[in-house]
Chains A and B, each alone.
Chain A
Amino acid sequence: MQELLAHVPLEEVPSADGAKGAGDRALVRRLLARDESAFRELVARDHAALVRIAGALVNPATAEEIAQDTWARVVENLPRFEGRSSLRTWIIRICLNRAKAIAVREARSTPFGSFENDDGGEVEAERFDAHGNWIDPPREWRDRSAEAVLLRREALECLGRELRAMSATQRAVLTLRDLEGLDSREVCNALQLTESNQRVVLHRARTRVRRALEEMYRQEGK
């Protein structure tokens, strides 16, 4: 329990991204000057992600409340933002801390059994021969980068469907790592997973996404 109450550290981890830092500083200046369009920009950019992150820890209605509440805290604490991490990472940490505190209060604090909903986390065994070599190897996809894949509307639908179908743990890890770009240490800390569990969950989640995309291209090829 003690562990669960431990908050994600709020001290700012230096961000490697200098260019982003300049953009953040400009945004913060506008926010402190009560510029509504700056606030609107920020909410449009990050609100959905906050709901998703909180939703990994609490029920959907509470997640929406936490996300909204996060904005109040962001505005209140903004004068103390020092820009040592990206603004986005800072906002996510506030949201995570809040979600964790509420999850503890709701006593639903460990939705993260690491190995639930296993299926889909590995390539089907039938695609390999007795020596483990490909019989049914991955086909080449028409698109060669994530940007190109995402130009297809069905790819977004496919990704959304897959996110909804996976376990809360997989969704949380995938969201924090691949969408928010947090490092594994931060994700382990936020979700109370061990490093190796976190990696297993991430592996399964990405394997599922790859397989869903493969299926999309397969359908298209017919």
Chain B
Amino acid sequence: MLSCQEVTKLVTDYVERRLTFLDRIRFQLHLGMCGHCRQYLRQMRIAAAMMGRAPPEPVPEATMQELLARFRGWRA
């Protein structure tokens, strides 16, 4: 039986599908019985999704103007 602490250490291997078949079953068994670890897994998924959902940082207008000036000069 996995402990909660072990679950927090294995969570990325689980999400990345890198656990052995047996460990995966043990992981899921634990999740089935432990609301705290289900909560932890949900929060780790949110943490992983945060990066991709964050809006891009604005490009400084000076940089943009310089790149645009070069774009006009390039021959595609």
Contacts and interface: CB of A to CB of B under 8 A. Distances in A.
A43 B12 contact: no
A214 B50 CA distance: 13
Nearest to A77: B76
Contact of A210 (B47, B68, B72): B47
Interface of A, secondary structure class, is helix
Interface string A174-198: 1100110100100000000000000
B67 A149 contact: no
Nearest to B49: A146
B54 A210 contact: no
Interface of B, secondary structure class, is helix
A141 B12 contact: no
Interface in B28-76: 36-37, 39-40, 42-44, 46-59, 63-64, 66-68, 70-72, 74, 76
Interface in B1-20: 3-6, 8-9, 11-13, 16, 18
Contact of B43 (A133, A141, A202): A141
Interface size class of B (residues with CB under 8 A): 35 or more
A210 B44 contact: yes
B39 A122 contact: no
Interface in A153-187: 155-156, 159, 174-175, 178-179, 181, 184
B67 A132 contact: no
A34 B76 contact: yes
Given A34-B76, A68-B67, A159 B43 contact: no
Given A48-B56, A48-B57, A31 B76 contact: yes
A10 interface: no
Given A39-B71, A178-B48, A209-B47, A159 B56 contact: no
7 contacts: A39-B71, A64-B63, A138-B36, A150-B55, A159-B50, A178-B50, A203-B13
Interface of B: 3-6, 8-9, 11-13, 16, 18, 36-37, 39-40, 42-44, 46-59, 63-64, 66-68, 70-72, 74, 76
Given A174-B51, A210-B46, 17 more contacts: A36-B71, A43-B59, A47-B56, A48-B57, A68-B63, A122-B9, A132-B4, A132-B6, A137-B4, A146-B49, A146-B53, A179-B51, A184-B16, A199-B13, A206-B47, A207-B44, A210-B47
